[in-house]
Structure 1
Amino acid sequence: MPELPEVETVRKTLEEMVIGKRLEKVLVSWPKIIKKPDDTEMFCLLLGGQVIQKIGRRGKFLIFYLNDYSLVSHLRMEGKYEVVKEEPPDKHTHVRFFFEDDTELRYRDVRKFGTMHLFEKGEEMKSLPLKQLGPEPVGDASFTPEYLYGVFQKTTRNIKAVLLDQCVIAGLGNIYVDEALFKAGIRPDIRASTLDKDQTISLSKQITDTIAAAISKGGSSVRSYVNGAGDKGSYQLELSVYGREGEPCRRCGSDIEKTVTAGRGTRYCPTCQPVSYL
């Protein structure tokens, strides 16, 4: 958390607030966040005088496109961006981007798990961490049922583990994998290779539809997520299984169950997601 819909919402809100602004200076108080270059002082020096031209996204990564560089940022579990003016930073503010108009973009991260990589512009997609990512589940012509079926037939992993693999699909996480599997009527713990073509077609559609719907609602604020403007998303109100263990299924009335699959807490409906093809 946050996953693709949340990161896309952050991207959209930040674009409205920082595009065209010139960086005066950058301060880093937690150097471990900066992964490239390995010299934090150089990171700050290179960003001085740069103008934010646009903000992109790849999977769960934000990409700040500057005059000469691309800053790739991963929020991990608790990372947040906010634009402020003349407000004292708190102890969780670890990177501060000062603009010439006296406003400031701050990166806050309670757990300090977030990462930043600075590349020469045009090199970001050729290098880790972005070059290893699979196709996007929305707006990417290479994300097809045929693609998924081919991946499923070559693995012995369970379906949830495959869908969480960012090299297979960029941007999916625990929330939306559980939701898409429920909507497709597929148990999270079955081997991916047991899915037939019809099931794969259904799952592909549900993944795309779920992500698109979550983006339209500003993502899911199930923990501490807010967008770049400090607003919460609303898709959590429409979640069918995630976070609803012990509650009745909205479709059949059976209790939603929780287990651990692929090392993650996993919610499913035992009736709507049957075991007949395990």
Structure 2
Amino acid sequence: MPELPEVEVTRQGIAPVLLGRRASGALARVPALRYPLPADLARRLAGQELLAIRRRGKYLLLDFGTGHLLIHLGMSGSLRLVPASRAPEKHDHLDLLFGQGRTALALRLRDPRRFGAVLWLEGAPEAHPLLAVLGIEPLDETFTPRWLFETTRGLTAAIKTALMDSHRLVGVGNIYASESLFRAGINPRTPAGKISLVRYGRLVPAIKATLNEAIAAGGSSLRDFVNSDGTSGYFQLQTFVYGREGQACRHCGGVIRMFRQGQRATYYCPRCQR
């Protein structure tokens, strides 16, 4: 599933090209993804200038002045910038169109599992039920060791599970939680409420560094994710533990282990993470 780095990479890829351009319409090839697509989207967008593109957690918000288009990539989605004249492929379900004639561009949503979402929001987007329940951003200054320490007091859930709870902290998906905990030397099974402020002082910078490095690497392309220009991310090629079960730890030479945690595969080094 595209997580915070992949969505941020997408935002950074499309913003320089589309900001300030006027939409000429939209073309939907299916009636719905996770939710029904806005029936009058082409009319709403025609002639509207794209003023800003923001990310909130794993959601993109395209600000057209008269409203916001909320986009979620679901389990397998990606957004690509292509010539509007390019023939769509099997899973290309929606085009947002910019310009006319030979130079017209399409922001094309590909979603093989059709679990993404495209919604039209009026009013303050932060008040929408999908966004109102989200926790803080891990790359914001508000995400500090003290905040994480205080918000987890009395919490018996494992730290990896706590990091992936979007009601508390957004965008730290399975890969990035495993990698961050390795860097901080924390066993993913450790109850979040038992971790000291000192250890959180290592974990929070590790999370920020891991996410920033993933963004710089173009995200992780494990299945269907590609960047807006169609290229794949390569962070998955430089992981310390994720996807490396049975291989030697890059730090201590021990064996990387995997176990199931909340129906997710968790990778860790028993020697380095205690």
| Same fold, judged at TM 0.5 (above) | yes
Contact 1:160 1:262 in 2 (8 A): no
Shift of 1:220: 2.0
Matches of 2:233 and 2:106 in 1, distance apart?
A: 23
Match of 2:107 in 1: 105
Higher alpha-carbon deviation: 77-86 or 169-178: 77-86
Shift of 1:227: 0.9
Match of 1:131 in 2: 132
SS of alignment partner, residue 40 of structure 2: helix
Matches of 2:132 and 2:247 in 1, distance apart?
A: 40
SS of alignment partner, residue 156 of structure 1: coil
SS of alignment partner, residue 206 of structure 1: helix
Contact 2:27 2:94 in 1 (8 A): yes
Matches of 2:94 and 2:34 in 1, distance apart?
A: 9
In structure 2, relative to structure 1, the CA distance for the partners of 1:34 and 1:242 (3 Å cut) is closer
Which residue of 60, 74, 77 maps to 2:75? Answer: 77
State the identity as a percent: 39
1:1-278 correspondence to structure 2 within 5 Å: 1-33=1-33, 35=35, 40-85=38-83, 86-101=85-100, 102-120=104-122, 122-138=123-139, 140-274=140-274
Letter in 2 for 1:131: A
Matches of 2:128 and 2:161 in 1, distance apart?
A: 24
Matches of 1:215 and 1:105 in 2, distance apart?
A: 20
Letter in 1 for 2:230: G
Contact 1:184 1:206 in 2 (8 A): yes
Letter in 1 for 2:195: L
SS of alignment partner, residue 143 of structure 2: coil
SS of alignment partner, residue 129 of structure 2: coil
TM-score under structure 2 length normalisation = 0.93
Letter in 2 for 1:133: L
CA RMSD between the two structures: 1.7
Contact 1:248 1:256 in 2 (8 A): yes
In structure 2, relative to structure 1, the CA distance for the partners of 1:249 and 1:34 (3 Å cut) is closer
SS of alignment partner, residue 33 of structure 1: coil
Matches of 2:96 and 2:169 in 1, distance apart?
A: 31
Matches of 1:155 and 1:42 in 2, distance apart?
A: 46
Contact 1:34 1:117 in 2 (8 A): no
SS of alignment partner, residue 149 of structure 2: helix
SS of alignment partner, residue 155 of structure 1: coil
Matches of 1:5 and 1:87 in 2, distance apart?
A: 28
Matches of 1:104 and 1:256 in 2, distance apart?
A: 43
Contact 2:76 2:223 in 1 (8 A): no
Q: Deviation per CA, 1:207-260, whole angstroms, max 9, x where unpaired?
A: 111112222222222333211111222322321001111110001111111111
In structure 2, relative to structure 1, the CA distance for the partners of 1:68 and 1:199 (3 Å cut) is same
Q: Deviation per CA, 1:114-154, whole angstroms, max 9, x where unpaired?
A: 0122112x51112221121111111x122111111122114
SS of alignment partner, residue 40 of structure 1: coil
Contact 2:159 2:192 in 1 (8 A): yes
Letter in 2 for 1:103: L
Matches of 1:252 and 1:229 in 2, distance apart?
A: 38
Contact 1:34 1:40 in 2 (8 A): no
Structure 2 unaligned runs (5+)?
none
Shift of 1:15: 1.0
Matches of 1:233 and 1:39 in 2, distance apart?
A: 28
SS of alignment partner, residue 116 of structure 1: strand
Structure 1 unaligned runs (5+)?
none
Shift of 1:39: 6.9
Contact 2:48 2:65 in 1 (8 A): yes
In structure 2, relative to structure 1, the CA distance for the partners of 1:211 and 1:98 (3 Å cut) is same
Matches of 2:197 and 2:63 in 1, distance apart?
A: 40
